[in-house]
Amino acid sequence: MLDILRKKKEHWVSALIVLAVAIVMAFFGASKFSDDKANPNQPIAWVNGDVISQRDFYSELEFTLNQYRMVLGDKFDERLFGSQLPQQTLERMIQFKLLCQQAEKMGFFISDRELADQIRSNPYFQKDGKFDAAIYSRIPNRGIMERRQRDQLAAGRLQTYMTSRIKSLPADSEASRLLQKTQVELQFAAINFDQLGPKQNPSPEAINAILQNESLLKNQYEARKLEFTDPGKFQFRQIRIGLPFEAGPEARKKAEEKIQDIRKTLTSENFEAIAKAQSDDEFAKKGGDRGWVTENSIDKVLLGTLSTLQPNQVSGVVEAPGGFFIFQLKDRTPSKVRALETVKNQLAEQLARDQIRNQFVDSTRKKWEEMLAQGKALDADLQKLGVPLKKTGKFSLEKDSIPQIGNGESMIEAVYDLTLASPIAKRLYFYQDKYYYLKLLSVTMASPTKETAKDVDLGKTEAVNFQRDLFQNWLAAIEKQASIKISSSLEKKNKG
């Protein structure tokens, strides 16, 4: 915030994590170290129930050996590494898995847009300095690759968050205390890009161009088939004995006994009369008749029962939210998917609208990110698009939460770097399905203690080592509490 309290940002390269998994080698199957007859998806270790497969392990092992080959050149001898390298490789993968699990537990979420930006920036997927979709489409197992990239981003974000909170000097700790006690007020905007797209109708030419692309239409039809599915319907009667949510054991027993007594004398012929006399819902006066009801508006438990009935058949007693039920099915119509030919004009118009929105979103986001990187405010653009600018009110960061937003860790980190001279955060921050724009409005400084901690003679290298050791201790504690199991087949291979 102010220069005297600005955080010291030491670049710290972890000796443990994050794994530098090569994109190509990680996705083209198991390496020469694996048994050709073995199932590449066979677990080689379990970390809190999550699997490390043979494919992943041997790919990582081969990648590590290739790194040694590049460094040692002609001096490289695979025999020098013995059985230690597989064990060390597995230990790194276990630690990485633990970091990913902790990142998920602590809410370090990587959005689809952030993942896409990471992939587009990778030189392997670029041609002439630009992302090439054709190159990317040729990569097999893209889903696995994207999952690993997402895990690496989340683990890296957690690592940065943890190490930034490890203070290596007493003065750092004092500065951190003052920052946490300092009162700040922010202006912010929560941006949902998908809702910002223009409402204009696509041109006939744009729709016609999509109609000519049969491959695109077929792929999108399959992907959106649920949108073109008319849900099934049920026509039925019901008898209900209500049960309040907070009902105790005695009330529950009484209601269940009543519905069971009704069921004993119930038939398809007398269902309507008994429903009128015994049911306690608004459909009783119509003999329990619900009319036609779409399947997606019926409770899943009740839908499961109705789906097993034939016309005129009476169900057994079913418990669901709201009480105990008995049903009589009168008729049903199955769900039906409309054919592509009948919906392709509608689909083409939707895709054309999506193109307009996506082009607008991409260009707007790119423009805003460039403006923020230059320290320019977005206030005028946001107001023009109807995005409200709000104020947090004054608050301190000691609770690691921003009023009206929440505990988005990356945003909290950004606030530490804002100053009155440079009040605008340098990028948009993704948190809980929205992007956030941040601007510092005011700062009320906290007073230092009477005995401010003094710096000790600790060099940069020692400080970084201190941070590393503390982080290792934290990770070791996580690993000690974890449930880790290593496949006996790997242990036998190492001993062999």
CATH of the domain at 327: 3.10.50.40
Q: How many CB atoms lie within 10 A of CB 345?
A: 12
Answer yes or no: do 222 and 249 share one domain. no
> Buried b / exposed e across 305-329, counting CB within 10 Å, b at 16+?
bbeebeeeebbeebebeebbbbbbb
Residue 84 lies in a domain: yes
Answer yes or no: do 290 and 271 share one domain. yes
Answer yes or no: do 259 and 203 share one domain. no
User: How far apart are the C-alpha atoms of 306 and 243, rounded to whole Å?
Assistant: 21
pLDDT band at 333 (very low <50, low <70, confident <90, very high): very high
Answer yes or no: do 202 and 351 share one domain. yes
Give per-residue pLDDT as tens, 15-45. 333 333 333 333 333 344 444 444 566 788 8
Domain CATH code at residue 103: 1.10.4030.10
pLDDT for the residue numbered 454: 43
Residue 490 lies in a domain: yes
Answer yes or no: do 162 and 28 share one domain. yes
Answer yes or no: do 161 and 28 share one domain. yes
Give per-residue pLDDT as tens, 90-143. 888 888 888 888 888 777 777 777 788 888 888 778 887 778 877 877 776 677
Answer yes or no: do 239 and 357 share one domain. no
> Are 33 and 66 within 8 A, CB to CB?
no
Residue 385 lies in a domain: no
Q: What is the pTM of this model?
A: 0.46
Answer yes or no: do 24 and 166 share one domain. yes
Answer yes or no: do 151 and 33 share one domain. yes
Answer yes or no: do 214 and 274 share one domain. no
Place of tokens 């036609």: 292
Residue 488 lies in a domain: yes
Answer yes or no: do 273 and 238 share one domain. yes
Answer yes or no: do 309 and 252 share one domain. yes
> Are 475 and 155 within 8 A, CB to CB?
no
pLDDT for the residue numbered 166: 56
Domain range enclosing 128: 14-170+458-495
Residue 349: strand, helix, or coil = helix
- How many domains are there within the chain? 3
- The residue among 373, 398, 424 that closes a domain is 373
Residue 407 lies in a domain: no
User: How far apart are the C-alpha atoms of 340 and 10, rounded to whole Å?
Assistant: 58
Cα dihedral 152, 153, 159, 165, rounded to 10, equals -170
Residue 3 lies in a domain: no
User: How far apart are the C-alpha atoms of 339 and 352, rounded to whole Å?
Assistant: 20
